[in-house]
Amino acid sequence: MSLATHLAELAEKHRVLDRRIEQEMSRPAKADHEIMRLKLEKLRIKEQIEKLEAQSRPH
């Protein structure tokens, strides 16, 4: 898998998680623990994206 493909997949996962968080937050009986879990997963993906982007930049 190329770096660009991997970054694109991570970016899509990040967008999907963002939508899931918005959906969960809009529910009347939202599950705070689920929202926190989704936000942590989204943060981990963002950190992976940033790390890969930093590694791919010329020094």
pLDDT in tens, the chain (59 residues): 799 999 999 999 999 999 999 999 999 888 899 999 999 999 999 999 999 999 888 76
Range of the domain at 8: 3-23+31-56
Transcribe 13-39 into DSSP letters. HHHHHHHHHHHHHHSTT--HHHHHHHH
**Phi, psi values for residue 31, rounded to 5°:** -100, 105
- What is the reported pTM? 0.86
Number of domains into which the chain is organized: 1
